[in-house]
Amino acid sequence: MKTVYCFLTVLAPFVLAKAPLVNRGVSDGIADNYIVVMKKADSKTLQAHYRQIHTTSQRINDGNQGVVRTYQVQDFNGYHIECDNATLESIRNNPGVDYVAQDGRVTAQSAIPTNVPRSGPTANTWGLGRISHRDAGIPVYVDENNAPTFAYMLDTGIRVTHQEFGGRAIWGQNFITGSQNIDDNGHGTHTAATVGGNTVGVDNSTKLIAVKVLDQNSSGAWSGMIAGIQWAVNDAQSQGRITRSVINMSIGGPKFQPLNDCVKSAVDAGMTVVAAACNYGVDACTYSPASAPEAITVAAVDISDTRPNWSNYGACVNIFGPGDNIYSAWKDSDTSYQVLSGTSMASPHVAGLVTYLFSREFISGQTEVNNRLIQLGTENKVQNPNGSPNLIAFNGNKDEL
């Protein structure tokens, strides 16, 4: 089976128009760090470019790292480089380079923490009830049991020993330099348990895989997110489970084309990708990964089916999920819980529903999954959708059909 790597390259320079440089000078930019996206080329050409750029950047010896990491996800080829302006210009003049984007910061999309820690799985999990009933206000969750599936959680990590996971959560990969394989923020544990916790999860049979791309402050970089996607796709392919796997990204930042392109390649490889719409009360099309056409982008509703004013909206949204005052597992101990709000909380409700549909209905592929979510979704209940599809995620509870 084809593996997914992430890497880049260099070609003989011709006098051609420079590759565009985008995202430079934005407030969240990381100085001297760039994502270089390559045009389609064979692996020999790409490897030649990689060697050339690596040698050049090392020779300059100006304190920059040079090529930090290479990427290949299906047809997406590129690399992350830390370099000076002269090296950057030589890269842009290479005819094999499609475009270059300055790297930047990305954050978890958990907003308005309610700060209500609890000691056990006894609180109101209204979001689970919402996605298994047509009407709001019914707290009982109705589900069915079914076949193994996998959720790759690109987040702050997971407290894998928490009682909600029952041994189904494992560590996959850590892309935060110098950090331990722990969730030192809590966001990742919370979202993972919403996907697949024993008592607070949508699908309590799925296996959860921690891919740490955010630090203790729930902050990361686009370069790390792309690396996380690449790792997840490679791992799912190598294990022969990509059609039964989902990536959840309760993460966002201003629209970043390299990430959107990488999401497209991950979906082309067979992965399903779910993303938070983000929490700025604006058009989701201005944020990534929310704006990636291939992602299933999730906006939030509260317990009365109203879109909170902090939830993004618009044509890039695919569906709504419960996102206000969501009770789920927390990092502090194996029995700790917390209530949080945000599209970060809405996205894992849908990611869990995706694995649920994989295992119960044996569907696969982003298009088939998205079509099924639309077919099942509860229509015309959202108050103030503001141009978004008026559709709330629903799990197909037969008593409600």
Enzyme catalytic residues: 155, 187, 344
Angle at which helices 343-361 and 187-196 cross, to 10°: 30
CA–CA gap between residue 158 and residue 150 (Å, rounded): 14
CA–CA gap between residue 148 and residue 256 (Å, rounded): 33
CA–CA gap between residue 353 and residue 335 (Å, rounded): 24
CA–CA gap between residue 169 and residue 111 (Å, rounded): 25
Q: Strands 378-379 and 66-73: what pairing?
A: unpaired
CA–CA gap between residue 49 and residue 96 (Å, rounded): 8
